[in-house]
Homo-oligomer: A and B are copies of this chain.
Amino acid sequence: MAYRLWYWPSIQGRGEFVRLALEAAGIAYEDCARDQGVAAMMTDLEGRAANGRGPYAPPYLALDGHAIAQVANILQFLGQQHDMVPSNLADRYWLNQLQLTIADLVAEVHNVHHPVGMMDYYDDQKAEAARAAAQFRDERLPKYLDHFEDAARAGPSDWLIDHRWTYGDTSLFQLVEGLRYMFPRRMKTLEPDYPHLLRVHAAVHALPGIRAYLKSDRRLPFNEDGIFRHYPELDAD
């Protein structure tokens, strides 16, 4: 039976980290809100909150009787169910740790365009966003990329952790994709320093499931409602 994934139907957002792992592994899933709409997702969410174990926010996987939310948690669940995690226990904690660090970076990326009013429009905080973006580009981004480059360099193969891909690889792929979309000038400057990270990106890009997904209409384009947003005024060399 196909998994039921609920996430905002018009953006890649955090849900994309889950979609990519499912697509790479060839696991069947229904992207429910793309078929049924946002109102159906809200109704589903409210019902789950009433029983006390609802997700705080999408994305979540609806299973029989309960739901699993939080990207790193969903990926851990899928990994364990579908033999997509390393066999070694230390490697599994390392994979989870990397995914959580990716989540931290994703939260900082969102904060760049919404620094003072997460619920407000970007247009209402452009000056603040410009300041947040400068420090993000100059200090935070290279620090994170250094960390992921160290991790990729230490990988035992083309992959990050194992001799086959894990969701850590698909997540790093998405990070590079998103950062290139949001900061094309900055990434052009930085990328030569990160050959091993780009090696992982290329290996994921060549996975048959990912190649097919990227060509399909299931892969939504990046846009200015998601997490990675291209505002040229926030980019620089």
Instruction: Give A residues with C-beta under 8 Å from B.
Output: 49-56, 63, 65-66, 68-70, 72-73, 76-77, 90, 93-94, 96-97, 100-101, 103-104, 107-108, 111, 115-120, 128, 131-132, 135, 139-140, 144, 147, 150-151, 153-155
A69 and B97 form a contact (CB under 8 A): yes
How far is B135's CA from A66's CA once the two chains are assembled, in angstroms? Answer: 31
Contact of A131 among B68, B111, B117 (CB under 8 A): B117
Contact of A107 among B73, B107, B140 (CB under 8 A): B107
| Residue of B whose beta carbon sits closest to that of A107 | B107
A116 and B119 form a contact (CB under 8 A): no
Contact of A76 among B90, B96, B128, B154 (CB under 8 A): B96
How far is B71's CA from A100's CA once the two chains are assembled, in angstroms? Answer: 9
Contact of A100 among B70, B119, B139, B153 (CB under 8 A): B70
| Chain B residues whose C-beta falls within 8 Å of the C-beta of A96 in the assembled complex | 70, 73, 76
How far is B221's CA from A192's CA once the two chains are assembled, in angstroms? Answer: 45
Contact of A128 among B65, B100, B128, B140 (CB under 8 A): B128
Q: How distant is A124 from chain B, measured CB to nearest CB, in Å?
A: 10
How far is B116's CA from A56's CA once the two chains are assembled, in angstroms? Answer: 25
